[in-house]
Amino acid sequence: MSADEAALKTCHERINLSVAASHQAENGPVTTVSSKKSEEATYAYLPPIESTDAHLHEFAEAMRTVGKALQQVAEGKAAAQAEAAEWKRKYESEKAAKAHTHHSVIKGCSNCVKDKLEHLASKLTLETASADETGCCGNHGICSRQILQDQCPGPNRKSDGRIVGRKVPFRLSWGSNGDKNGQHKHDFVSFEKGDITTAERSNKQIFLKWDSPPQTVLFVTKPNSNSVHALCSEMVRWLKEHNNINIFVEPRVSKELLIEDSYFNFIQTWDNDEEMKTLHTKVDLIVTLGGDGTVLWAASLFKGPVPPVVAFSLGSLGFMTPFPSEQYRECLGNVLKRPFAITLRSRLHCHVIRDAAKDEVETGEPILVLNEVTIDRGMSSYLTYLECYCDSSFVTCVQGDGLIISTTSGSTAYSLAAGGSMVHPQVPGILFTPICPHSLSFRPLILPEYVTLRVQVPFNSRGQAWASFDGKGRIQLGPGDALICSVSPWPLPTACLVDSTTDFLRSIHEGLHWNLRKSQALDGPG
């Protein structure tokens, strides 16, 4: 026998001894040794082979690697068995300590520890193919990737081999490109279990209930009307004598009432704009006596939050004035003492940017409008030429008599006369209505409430434009000037006689005689 064959035989014998020792460690008692000692023991069985054959050297190194791997598996199994034994010991001691507790508690604890033991036992196997097939993370406890149905992510195989896909979780965010989370509007949108649905909004009607009886009422009245003045003085007396309410009135009305009778010395008013800015901190309720124009004027007094408005009808139309003045005692009594329905009417937040101001706002305070912003050509004989943008997207160029940007409350005003649609006042949106456009295909739009509109007069415009806010406060816009409009965070809450929808339908039926026609005769051709 040659020297190489003898060396190979010796190598095989020692490898068999190493494998036998590893097998004995897996199935019999294991003596815990350090990794360094186990490596030295492995090399004791496989001393270096003195051979000039390179293949024998490679084969010997491979056998040493196999021996070390088997030794590490045995040590890992021993550590896992020791950890499992420790958990079992803790479980037995806990079970013995809580033997007097309820059976359901013991059962829950048992199940918990069983799951943990199974989790530890799963580490003892080297076969992970089953975990890879199901797409699981390999841990049989809580999966490292959270999912919707408390299962491991990845495809699920049915018994017939078909793969059933699983939805991954997601979140919705509000803001610029999803970067700003904002407030999650769960009252409007639900995205639980991976499905987007519109959430229920109670009975679609908002009610207001006082925590305590209102203490202060502001009266806003239509000017130059004897009937309105007489009703105002009567209502002020009744509120003070029967409900002990503090009364605020406009400076003009205060002078008129004090001239009429010194009895009205208790009424309060404001002397300057700074005091008017703090009205919302003093007034609980607003009472308007007049038409829709009076409601618009009352809203213009508040640049921020607005108290609830009870609007009595003393005008020609009445889209926002549902309460009859003849029944003011009953109506005000209900509003002061009981929950009542309200309509949140959105307002537009507007400001003008001059080209010469280098993107600085012309005025420090924004202009708030309840009905609409109108941009027209004024006295110019040229068509209005406007560039319109919605957020960062170009919308269109307006060539015609002008443009109306309206709230849904203002949909029954100028926008309706220009061909816009009537919209329920609580529908969240902005109306974009052209005035006599020089294009037959230019139809009105309704845009979502969260957008910002920018209307700019281009430098090549042949004429100027004029902007008016709720029919007043006209501002001239020159080439390069822009008007910015968005929905204000402070709506106008108006009290409902019945509810928001009933009041709206009543107003278009009675105010506009909407879809009223003579009935068809019953006697047709025989």
Instruction: Sketch the domain layout of the chain as residue ranges.
Output: 3-95, 107-131+142-150+175-202, 208-344, 348-489
Confidence of residue 292 (pLDDT cuts 50, 70, 90): very high
Give this prediction's pTM: 0.66
Q: What was the pLDDT predicted at 367?
A: 93
Confidence of residue 144 (pLDDT cuts 50, 70, 90): very low
Kindly list the distances between the CA atom of residue 441 and the CA atoms of 92, 97, 414, 417, 431, in Å, as whole numbers in the listed order. Answer: 82, 83, 20, 18, 17
Please write the tens of the pLDDT for every residue from 215-235. Answer: 999 999 999 999 999 999 999
Yes or no: say if 435 and 376 are a contact pair by the CB < 8 Å rule: yes
pLDDT at 273 over 80: yes
Yes or no: say if 148 and 169 are a contact pair by the CB < 8 Å rule: yes
CATH 3.40.50.10330 correct for 208-344: yes
Task: Please name every residue paired with 390 in a beta bridge, in sequence order, or none if there are none.
Answer: 393, 453
DSSP 8-state secondary structure symbol assigned to residue 361:
B
Region of poorest pLDDT, from 19-28, 192-201, 208-217, 356-365: 19-28
Burial class (CB in 10 A: 0-12, 13-18, 19+), 256: middle
Confidence of residue 463 (pLDDT cuts 50, 70, 90): confident
Please write the tens of the pLDDT for every residue from 438-447. Answer: 999 999 999 9
Contacts of 485 (CB under 8 A, 6+ apart): 348, 349, 350, 373, 405, 430, 452, 453, 454, 455
Cα 373 vs. chain centroid, distance in angstroms? 27
CATH among 1.10.3720.10, 2.60.200.30, 2.60.120.1140, 3.40.50.970 for 348-489:
2.60.200.30
Residues labelled as active-site residues? 292
Cα 371 vs. chain centroid, distance in angstroms? 26
**Ranges 80-84, 176-180, 399-403, most confident:** 399-403
- For the chain, the average pLDDT equals 77
Contacts of 13 (CB under 8 A, 6+ apart): none
